[in-house]
Structure 1
Amino acid sequence: MVSILENFPAFLLVLMRVSAFFVTLPLFSYRTIPNTHKIGFSFFLTWIIFFTLEVPVIEIDGQYVMLILKEAILGLLLGFAAYFILTAVQIAGSFIDFQMGFAIANVLDPQTGAQSPLIGQFLYTFALLLMLSLNAHHLLLDGIFYSYQYVPIDQLFLPFGDENIADFIVTTFNSMFIIAFQMSIPVVGSLFLVDVALGIVARTVPQLNIFVVGVPIKILVSFIMLILVMGALFLLMEQLFEMMTYTMRSLMELFGGTQG
């Protein structure tokens, strides 16, 4: 029977991966959640995960420092992969803001402390609420739970030199921008047609001040289009959640060396 002290180094490794995961994970890493809650949730989730694993006896030596660094990097990367996919909503909002004329009026996101576009923050809030209503945050927790099936606790290194990882990152980056473009194209395309119409009016009726009339018209058209396509935006957000879990699983498979 292995004693508690012999299991303690392995428990610290699990705690390191879970804690690092919550540092970059969407929704769980935000400033609005107290740090005591994050630490407590990480500890109890680590406690649950630890007793479901068949952990080997790990000694505290020179390799243990490498294991701690590996667990911290893996947890940060898994959480960042989910956050990276969800930023497609804010990128779509920045595309819309640029056409509306709101690009200069960024707001401070109280959850992350970063500057965020107006429409991007509006859509991002809806995305978080949709994620909670669909229980997609449970899939994020499943990601860290099942990560030990792909990357064992005693695996010493992560294969960052693998070309498949670089190819996967580029492909994911491309897919995220495609979804962001799909979310923004109805509004951006409508505003492009409004710009064409205003240009024609400016040439045919030079007495009319287009710069005064054009801005409120573009804002009005933007909000009307947002109301009309909001249902389609929610469908694209659901695709984002599926892509988020797929990205985390594929990244774990590559780090664990189970995908060619």
Structure 2
Amino acid sequence: MDVINSLPAFLLIFVRLIAFMATIPVFSYRNVPSYFKIGLSFFFALIVLLTIDVPDISLDGSYFLLIIKEVMVGLLLGLIASMLFYAIQVAGAFIDLKIGFLVANVIDPQTGAQSPLTGGFLYAFAILFLLASNGHHLLLDGMFYSFSYVPIEVSSINITTSSVMETAVEAFVTMFLIAFLMSFPIVGSLFLVDVALGMMSRAVPQMNVFVVGLPLKIIIGLPIMMITMPAFFYLLRNLTEEMAIAMRTMMQLFGGA
């Protein structure tokens, strides 16, 4: 392989991988060193370069359009995967809203943003489950096959079509649906606690419901959370599958398939 002639194609592959690493779960976190992301993208780009059919790409004015296209493809695929995975944070916010932990948001060291207390707890389990089930291999595998659906020599992608918009909206709806299913056992149980407290406040007006309700919700909510953890991991497995399907579908639509 001519190294000089394949350098433009290698740079395009490298740009797409860097953009992808900047947005996907696990690899995009702030506590992952930047030189690790760059090094992994560099060696992964070498593997892709030696695997695919490298086209002849000239360094002219259209090359900058190819760079912009590669950045957009990498960012959009990573955002689709992250959007589905952040359903766990949304589920944690639903739980915190009912259990009373929403006032105690903490700073997530991985993203640098505020995170719900329960959401951070469940998100840590989700990251461990993703790594234990080789879910990060699925992400890298999807990025590898993106070069088959969206070749590097094509300067445009189908980003404004109705199918792409429908797929993005469907992924957004799926995120909230899975978040609701994850939080429903705890939220539903605590709703019944609110109903019981409302009935007690009507029967015994002297009782301070706010003083009694907060510790009662914590005492009931935490054991229910522990009991429903197997169902959480079952939904997490479905979430990982949905994430891979959404990435594959989006790549096919970008390539016009």
Indicate yes or no: 2:207 matched with 1:194. Answer: no
Moved over 3 A (4+): none
Q: CA deviation at 1:84?
A: 0.6
Amino acid at match of 1:154: E
Q: CA deviation at 1:224?
A: 1.1
Which consecutive unaligned segments of at least 5 residues does structure 2 have? none
Report percent identity of matched pairs: 51
Q: CA deviation at 1:223?
A: 0.2
> What is residue 115 of structure 1 aligned with on the other side?
114
> What is residue 94 of structure 1 aligned with on the other side?
93
RMSD of equivalent CA atoms: 0.8
Superposed CA offset, 1:136-156 (max 9, x none): 110000011010110011111
Tell me the distance in 1 between the aligned counterparts of 2:47 and 2:2: 18
Q: CA deviation at 1:161?
A: 2.0
Secondary structure at 1:51 match in 2: helix
> What is residue 104 of structure 1 aligned with on the other side?
103
Tell me the distance in 1 between the aligned counterparts of 2:191 and 2:3: 66
Tell me the distance in 2 between the aligned counterparts of 1:17 and 1:80: 13
Superposed CA offset, 1:162-213 (max 9, x none): 1111111111111111111000110000000000000111111222221111
> What is residue 213 of structure 2 aligned with on the other side?
214
Length-normalised TM-score, structure 1: 0.97
Tell me the distance in 2 between the aligned counterparts of 1:201 and 1:192: 14
User: 2:80–2:171: 8 Å Cα contact kept in structure 1?
Assistant: no
Q: CA deviation at 1:39?
A: 0.8
After superposition, where does 1:127-138 map in structure 2 within 5 Å? 127-138=126-137
Tell me the distance in 2 between the aligned counterparts of 1:196 and 1:67: 59
Length-normalised TM-score, structure 2: 0.98
> What is residue 17 of structure 1 aligned with on the other side?
16
Tell me the distance in 2 between the aligned counterparts of 1:238 and 1:43: 30
Secondary structure at 1:104 match in 2: helix
Q: Between Structure 1 and Structure 2, how many residues are aligned? A: 257
> What is residue 160 of structure 2 aligned with on the other side?
161
Amino acid at match of 1:182: L
Tell me the distance in 2 between the aligned counterparts of 1:161 and 1:143: 22
Superposed CA offset, 1:9-58 (max 9, x none): 01100000111110001000111111111111110111111100101110
> What is residue 68 of structure 1 aligned with on the other side?
67
Q: CA deviation at 1:120?
A: 0.5
Secondary structure at 1:111 match in 2: coil
Which consecutive unaligned segments of at least 5 residues does structure 1 have? none
> What is residue 41 of structure 2 aligned with on the other side?
42
Secondary structure at 1:24 match in 2: coil
Tell me the distance in 2 between the aligned counterparts of 1:88 and 1:223: 20
Tell me the distance in 2 between the aligned counterparts of 1:149 and 1:60: 22
Q: CA deviation at 1:3?
A: 2.3
Tell me the distance in 2 between the aligned counterparts of 1:24 and 1:123: 20
Indicate yes or no: 2:207 matched with 1:205. Answer: no
Tell me the distance in 2 between the aligned counterparts of 1:48 and 1:56: 16
Secondary structure at 2:104 match in 1: coil
Tell me the distance in 1 between the aligned counterparts of 2:208 and 2:68: 62
Superposed CA offset, 1:111-140 (max 9, x none): 000110000111011000000110111000
Secondary structure at 2:152 match in 1: coil
Tell me the distance in 2 between the aligned counterparts of 1:200 and 1:189: 17
Tell me the distance in 1 between the aligned counterparts of 2:249 and 2:159: 14
Tell me the distance in 2 between the aligned counterparts of 1:168 and 1:18: 22
Indicate yes or no: 2:247 matched with 1:257. Answer: no
Q: CA deviation at 1:4?
A: 1.2
User: 2:87–2:175: 8 Å Cα contact kept in structure 1?
Assistant: yes
Tell me the distance in 2 between the aligned counterparts of 1:182 and 1:48: 40
Secondary structure at 2:102 match in 1: coil
> What is residue 179 of structure 1 aligned with on the other side?
178
